[in-house]
A and B are shown apart, each in its own frame.
Chain A
């Protein structure tokens, strides 16, 4: 149980275009999902918390107009990188909590999406 998927796993786009990344909880409902960014050989940086049916909560320094988050259902959150630039190239990982299987504070992670902006 507690499986989180992401799509796509890898995307290459041109500078100035927008890219949408999907995060799904496959076997549980997630009222809250999290989006992280990971630079090479570094730890994960929390970008924002995605709340089903309401606005996302962004961490300090993260541009909400650039990283649009939508959590339209209990199993899907999307992250859209708008007007992407090469500096947005990174590994984006989502996670969700499943209180039923791991306790209220255990996060389950998706496999990540490698974004490369040319």
Chain B
């Protein structure tokens, strides 16, 4: 089964609003956690990552903290822009070839 669960979208926000996209995972150990972003018609780009508990990944104003106690890696941004409109995927690493993705959350930011 899918070991990454993220908030279903779509999410629509006004410019400069606060963004949270929830992501939780299941794992027997402490896998690396990732957020990828997919702009329309493009592939996935690594947005940020965290490799161990309490690590905070950050990039382009986005942040996510690896919370072992709640098995979560929620994505946040204090003030979204129209250019942030995209689909965001939470993912976790695994052993060998496995790389588990959430179902993606579509974000639309309106001016």
Contact = CB atoms under 8 A, between A and B. Distances in A.
Contacts, number: 55
Nearest to A45: B101
Contacts of A102: 46, 49
Given A43-B89, A43-B103, A106-B32, A112 B43 contact: yes
Bin chain B's interface residue count: 20 to 34
A46 B99 CA distance: 8
A109 B43 contact: yes
Range of interface residues on A (Cβ < 8 Å): 20 to 34
Interface of B: 31-32, 34, 36, 41-46, 49, 51, 89, 93, 97-99, 101-104, 106
19 contacts: A42-B103, A43-B89, A43-B104, A44-B89, A44-B101, A46-B98, A49-B97, A93-B44, A102-B49, A105-B51, A105-B93, A105-B99, A107-B99, A109-B43, A109-B44, A111-B42, A112-B41, A112-B42, A114-B41
